[in-house]
């Protein structure tokens, strides 16, 4: 029986990298029944739904999604589709592994970076609760709850134990947001007490950012509220070669949606040069989730060999290959 998977190519570079990821997954031989559903700014405008019914209906059936990025209007317009989906499907854990790949020239090429970001995915300043109190005075509500903070902390610690990871750093600004970030930290400490086998540390987010740039190899797992998790993810992507490389998984109790950290990259959309690695690696996470570990390892290995060889990489990595040439090389390596 093929695995049913909802495919949301998205917009911008989304359809280009999604096509590449689908080709790579199909080439592993794992049978997937892709249920492709359009999800873009145009669809949202038309349906007036940030999480359109067609997407939710498909996810209800498949429980698993592979998603490209979707453009979100800035400073107005519809609510972020990503935020809407994460809330509707209760995808509370955003898991983002950031690893050095072979053969990539970065400022940090001499150190081995292997960290995983656990970002709370449903609340914080993404509550969307903004209010103009009087003209030119706006408040944005940062919502932190015990339930969501405990849930993400448990997810991260359980992952650490199940995967033999040694250290977890909670990142916060509880020196200023004593109540909100204070509660997040309190919950992290409570859960940490149940996991004496995982070393627990805390860092204030500004210091954490500096330490990540100075000593990225000393980090293992990071646990963050939503906004810091968003920002630190891109910072961490920059350490290993950029947004073209870093995958992600949005995990909930019932559903899982796999997507890259990067956005729709309008500056390169339609040019055929987007790096599909991040979505391919997201598909590797998806294959693991489906229980197809062998295929996941083979796809991972094929991607790494293309980088180690270094001849067929995309312009963001300093090469000249197109999206499809890179994909052909990965598939040849499979």
Binding map of ligand NAI across residues 53-92, x = CB under 6 A, - = no contact: ----------------xxxx---------x----------
Does 244 participate in binding ligand NAI (rule CB under 6 A)? Answer: yes
Instruction: Count the residues of the shown chain that bind ligand NAI, applying the rule CB under 6 A.
Output: 21
Does 265 participate in binding ligand NAI (rule CB under 6 A)? Answer: yes
The whole-angstrom separation of Cα 67 and Cα 163 is 25
Does 28 participate in binding ligand NAI (rule CB under 6 A)? Answer: no
Give 290-312 as a DSSP string: TT-HHHHHHHHHHHHHHHHH-SS
136 is catalytic: no
Does 117 participate in binding ligand NAI (rule CB under 6 A)? Answer: no
Tell which one of 274, 306, 313, 321 touches ligand NAI (CB under 6 A): 274
Does 16 participate in binding ligand NAI (rule CB under 6 A)? Answer: no
Does 267 participate in binding ligand NAI (rule CB under 6 A)? Answer: yes
173 is catalytic: yes
DSSP bridge pairs for 6: 35, 65
Does 243 participate in binding ligand NAI (rule CB under 6 A)? Answer: yes
> Least distance in Å: CB of 240 to ligand NAI?
13
The whole-angstrom separation of Cα 245 and Cα 104 is 11
Long-range contacts of 142-145 (CB under 8 A, 24+ apart): 142/177, 142/180, 142/227, 144/179, 144/180, 144/181, 144/183, 144/184, 144/225, 145/183
| Region near ligand NAI per CB under 6 A, out of 29-37, 128-136, 180-188, 273-281 | 273-281
* Half-sphere CA count of 104, side-chain side, radius 13 A: 29
Q: Which of residues 294-333 bind ligand NAI (CB under 6 A)?
A: 316
Does 268 participate in binding ligand NAI (rule CB under 6 A)? Answer: yes
Closest CB to ligand NAI among 28 and 82? 82
167 is catalytic: no
The whole-angstrom separation of Cα 3 and Cα 141 is 40
181 is catalytic: no
- Burial call 295-316: b when 16+ CB within 10 Å, e when fewer: bbebbbebbbbbbeeeebbbeb
| Region near ligand NAI per CB under 6 A, out of 131-139, 181-189, 204-212, 261-269 | 261-269
From the candidates 35, 114, 220, 234, give the one annotated as an active-site residue.
234
The whole-angstrom separation of Cα 26 and Cα 330 is 12
> Least distance in Å: CB of 156 to ligand NAI?
21
- Please say whether the beta carbons of 242 and 316 come within 8 A: yes
- Please say whether the beta carbons of 292 and 124 come within 8 A: no
Closest CB to ligand NAI among 20 and 205? 20
List the catalytic residues: 126, 173, 206, 230, 234
């Amino acid at each position: 029986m093929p695995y049913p998977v909802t495919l949301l190519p998205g917009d911008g570079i989304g359809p280009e990298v999604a096509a590449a990821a689908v080709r790579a997954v199909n080439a592993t031989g794992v049978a997937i029944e892709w249920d492709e559903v359009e999800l873009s700014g145009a669809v949202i405008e038309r349906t007036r739904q940030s999480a359109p019914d067609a997407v939710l209906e498909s996810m209800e059936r498949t429980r698993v999604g592979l998603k490209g990025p979707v453009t979100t209007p800035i400073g107005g317009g519809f609510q972020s589709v990503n935020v809407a989906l994460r809330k509707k499907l209760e995808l509370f854990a955003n898991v983002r592994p950031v690893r050095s790949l072979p053969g990539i020239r970065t400022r940090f090429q001499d150190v081995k970076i292997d960290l995983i970001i656990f970002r709370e995915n449903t609340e914080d300043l993404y509550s969307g609760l903004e209010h103009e109190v009087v003209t030119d005075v706006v408040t944005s509500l940062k919502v932190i709850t015990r339930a969501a903070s405990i849930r993400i902390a448990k997810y991260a610690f359980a992952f650490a134990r199940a995967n033999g990871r040694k250290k977890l750093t909670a990142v916060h600004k509880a020196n200023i947001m004593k109540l909100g970030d204070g509660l997040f930290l309190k919950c992290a400490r409570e859960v940490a007490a149940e996991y004496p086998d995982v070393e627990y540390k805390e860092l204030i987010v500004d210091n954490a950012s500096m330490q990540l740039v100075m000593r990225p190899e000393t980090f293992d797992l990071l646990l963050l509220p939503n906004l810091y998790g968003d920002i630190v993810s891109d910072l961490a992507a920059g350490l290993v070669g950029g947004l073209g490389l870093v995958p992600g998984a949005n995990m909930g109790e019932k559903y899982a949606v796999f997507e890259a950290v990067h956005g729709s990259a309008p500056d390169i959309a339609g040019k055929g040069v987007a790096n599909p690695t991040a979505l391919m690696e997201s598909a590797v996470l998806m294959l693991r989730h489906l229980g197809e570990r062998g295929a996941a390892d083979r796809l991972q290995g094929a991607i790494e060999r293309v980088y180690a060889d270094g001849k067929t990489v995309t312009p963001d990595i300093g090469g000249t290959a197109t999206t499809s040439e890179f994909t052909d090389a990965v598939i040849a390596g499979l």
